[in-house]
Amino acid sequence: MLVPCFLYSLQNRKPSLYGSLTCQGIGLDGIPEVTASEGFIVNEINKKSIHISCPKENSSSKFLAPYTTFSRIHTKSITCLDISSGGGLGVSSSTDGTMKIWQASNGELRRVLEGHVFDVNCCRFFPSGLVVLSGGMDAQLKIWSAEDASCVVTFKGHKGGILDTAIVDRGRNVVSASRDGTARLWDCGRSACLGVLADCGSSINGVAVGAADNSINLGSPEQMPSEREVGTEAKMLLLAREDKKLQCLGLQSRQPVFLFIGSDAFNCCTFLSGFLLLAGTQDGNIYQLDVRSPRAPVQVIHRSGAPVLSLLSFRDGFIASQGDGSCFIVQQDLDYVTELTGADCDPVYKVATWEKQIYTCCRDGLVRRYQLSDL
């Protein structure tokens, strides 16, 4: 059996490397016997992964198959998912109009969260693992009990669909980003908006909150922060905007830290540390920036022209997913890229992790769970 094989260059926009793998059969241990075409080497293979390299180009990838696949949670495309802090529960939203809580180990349905009108764009667990935050095209932000599926709080104020959220510290405050161009800070205890953090005049596709390094000047607030603001000091707010701009400001001060212009609309962003961040664009670029010197990127990673849909800090590196079905892990201490396979060419919209397990959701309606111990 012939299987196409290609390795990506992560930098400098080098072309992809193409080759083929030939399966000669299955060994007595149940592991396929595979050979690679000229220029490629099969370094290691087991039942769940295969490590291939191209020494001439100094390129290497390990392809990891899903440990298990959950096909019964939703009937259509899954737009977002998250895993609880204890790893026991998952939450996901779908274009089938539902948001569901399920057992992370086997995909068994536990709760259906009903209350949003139209699509639910984003959902995440609070740090407690007992409460869920969601935002939808109905411009509403909702808080749910994961134990009985009741909607505890509904926040109203946005004039457009909510595209992303972030939780500040333990969750007394949350941040929402909307198609109406604003990012807002909310007080969960009193169900109130504490203020508009930014008004961009352009849709905000992604948002991230991170602790700032001591060397970064976040500015001072123009007026005394509300006593209901909890944990906003020394935090940065990152906004991935539709108008090709990546904006960073002090969460408590609301003062600008930097504004970076990219190659296309920014879809997602995340912090790697107190001064390093990543942001992904619609045309496939992943920008790594240093907040202390943001004018020029530390590096630009480009694997394909497919939209970068999600970015997640992971160990000493990150996980990224794209609109062409690719999902990959880059780690500083490894000399290869880990490719999470299975999605084929359907977009992988979101990635979540718990310990050595990685979960992805995809346009094909499947949740895939990967076990890094399989490596």
User: Does residue 374 lie within any of the structural domains?
Assistant: no
95, 29: one domain: no
- Predicted structure pTM score: 0.94
Q: What is the DSSP letter of 218?
A: -
How far is 326 from 170, CA to CA, in rounded Å? 32
Domain total in the chain: 2
Domain end call among 29, 62, 95? 62
Whether 369 has a pLDDT exceeding 90, the answer reads: yes
Phi-psi domain of 48 (left: phi exceeds 0; alpha: psi -120 through 50; beta: other):
alpha
- Residue 36: CB atoms within 10 Å: 19
Buried/exposed code over 314-331 (b: 16+ C-beta within 10 A; e: otherwise): beebbbbbbbbbbbbbbe
Whether 117 has a pLDDT exceeding 80, the answer reads: yes
**138 and 145 in contact (C-beta within 8 Å)?**
no
184, 318: one domain: yes
User: Does residue 284 lie within any of the structural domains?
Assistant: yes
Query: What is the Cα gyration radius of the chain?
Result: 21
Q: What is the mean pLDDT of residues 162-173?
A: 97
User: Does residue 306 lie within any of the structural domains?
Assistant: yes
**309 and 33 in contact (C-beta within 8 Å)?**
no
Which structural domain, as residue segments, surrounds residue 24? Answer: 1-62
30, 141: one domain: no
23, 48: one domain: yes
| pLDDT classification of 177: cutoffs 50, 70, 90 | very high
Q: pLDDT, tens digit, for every residue of 233-288? A: 999 999 999 999 999 999 999 999 999 999 999 999 999 999 999 999 999 999 99
Q: What is the DSSP letter of 104?
A: T
| pLDDT classification of 203: cutoffs 50, 70, 90 | very high
29, 90: one domain: no
Domain end call among 62, 78, 106? 62
CA-based torsion, 348, 271, 353, 370: positive or negative: positive
195, 172: one domain: yes
| pLDDT classification of 1: cutoffs 50, 70, 90 | very low
> Judging by DSSP bridges, how do beta strands 151-155 and 162-168 pair with one another?
unpaired
241, 137: one domain: yes
84, 208: one domain: yes
User: Does residue 375 lie within any of the structural domains?
Assistant: no
Q: pLDDT, tens digit, for every residue of 305-338? A: 999 999 999 999 999 999 999 999 999 888 899 9
172 phi/psi in degrees, rounded to 5: -65, -35
In the sheet that holds 276-281, the strands lie side by side as 266-271, 276-281, 285-290, 299-302
Whether 107 has a pLDDT exceeding 90, the answer reads: yes
253, 193: one domain: yes
Whether 133 has a pLDDT exceeding 60, the answer reads: yes
Which residues have C-beta within 8 Å of that of residue 278, sequence separation ≥ 6?
Answer: 269, 270, 272, 286, 287, 288, 289, 311, 313, 318, 320
Whether 199 has a pLDDT exceeding 80, the answer reads: yes
User: Does residue 223 lie within any of the structural domains?
Assistant: yes
28, 46: one domain: yes
Whether 7 has a pLDDT exceeding 90, the answer reads: no
- What rounded mean pLDDT belongs to the chain? 93
How far is 359 from 62, CA to CA, in rounded Å? 18
Domain end call among 43, 62, 81? 62
5, 87: one domain: no
Domain containing 307 — which CATH number? 2.130.10.10
200, 79: one domain: yes
Q: What per-residue confidence (pLDDT) applies to 6?
A: 53
Q: What per-residue confidence (pLDDT) applies to 375?
A: 54
Whether 32 has a pLDDT exceeding 90, the answer reads: no
